[in-house]
Amino acid sequence: MSSRIDSMFQFHQAALNLRAARQELMASNIANADTPNYKARDIDFASALQGAMSESGPKLAMAGTTNRHLSGATGDTVLGSPVLYRTVVQPSADGNTVDMDVERAQFADNALRYEASVKFVSEKGKDVLAALQG
Amino acid sequence: MSLFNIFNIAGSGMTAQSQRLNVVASNLANAESTTGPDGQPYHAKQVVFSTTSFEGQPGAGVKVDSVVEDASPMRIVYDPKHPMADANGYLTLPNVNPVDEMVNMISASRSYQNNVDVMNTSKALLLKTLTIGQ
């Protein structure tokens, strides 16, 4: 029975974790808005959530027989999904790719969606309670 | 947890930007200082930002890597009456460009405000998270 309740919350748990991780990436972008050669980063939320919800688990690692073989890893990952770099709209002279308008908009958007997910979890909890108490 | 790490990231951004503001204040205050403790005119200083990563986290903070002396040439004016003028009557003034410094100041204060906003949003989200199940 408990696994049934678990699976009810699993989706929102994954969504909240991903939103929090994405919020952290946006915060890094905003903090590094003036750092030369910093590249703005983000995750593809839709595919990250799909990956977190799918049963397939992590992809097979490439086998290497010598330390000169490439590992096949593509860099940083957030909860199993790769961290991507933003496409530059207006390149700057110091190699920094943080566009403050984009970052602030995405930050606000992500914060609102996080709050929405929190609301969904709360309401779901109330639903379960109502069903249990009759 | 990701949202707590945002406090470190935004905090590092605020520290770095306030150091930058400090350097701007020093440059503007010494824009006319023809001599210092070493007997030389004041040299304008600039901060160099670099990215710092927290281990195991995709998010990255920012730190002041170094404070370098501005390489632009010193201002030379002809003022034989000045006590610090050389034998030919030329006076060396600091290479502080007040316009550059004002732009730097505005940019630093805006970036600081952005980091404060990031921190406030994260705090609001964390408080919202605590209300799950209430």
B133 chain-A contacts, CB cut-off 8 A:
122, 125
Residue A58 reports pLDDT greater than 60? no
Tell me how far CA of residue B108 lies from CA of A85, A90, B14, in angstroms: 25, 20, 9
Residues B100 and B23: their CA atoms lie apart, in Å, by 12
Alpha helices for chain B (secondary structure H)? 2-29, 98-130
pLDDT band, very low/low/confident/very high, at A55 (cuts 50, 70, 90): low
What percent of chain A is modeled with pLDDT above 90?
52
Tell me how far CA of residue B56 lies from CA of A16, A33, A74, A77, B53, in angstroms: 19, 22, 16, 10, 8
Lowest mean pLDDT of A45-49, A58-62, B31-35, B95-99, name the range: A58-62
pLDDT band, very low/low/confident/very high, at B12 (cuts 50, 70, 90): very high
Cβ of residue A39 closer than 8 Å to a chain B Cβ: no
pLDDT for the residue A30: 95
Task: Provide the CB-side half-sphere exposure for B27 (13 A, CA).
Answer: 26
Q: Which two tokens stand for residue B67?
A: 């404070």
Average pLDDT rounded to a whole number, residues A105-126: 94
* Residue recorded with tokens 């605020």: B14
pLDDT band, very low/low/confident/very high, at A53 (cuts 50, 70, 90): confident
Q: What is the H or E stretch that residue A126 is in?
A: helix A100-133
Residue A27 reports pLDDT greater than 60? yes
pLDDT for the residue B91: 93
Residues A66 and B92: their CA atoms lie apart, in Å, by 62
Tell me how far CA of residue B77 lies from CA of A108, B73, B113, in angstroms: 52, 13, 39
What percent of chain B is modeled with pLDDT above 90?
80
Q: CA nearest B42: which of B11, B74, B77, B72?
A: B74
Residue B42 reports pLDDT greater than 60? yes
B 92-121 → A contacts, CB under 8 A: 107-108, 111, 114-115, 117-118, 121
B13 chain-A contacts, CB cut-off 8 A:
30-32
The neighbouring-strand residues paired with A77 are A82
Residues A28 and B76: their CA atoms lie apart, in Å, by 43
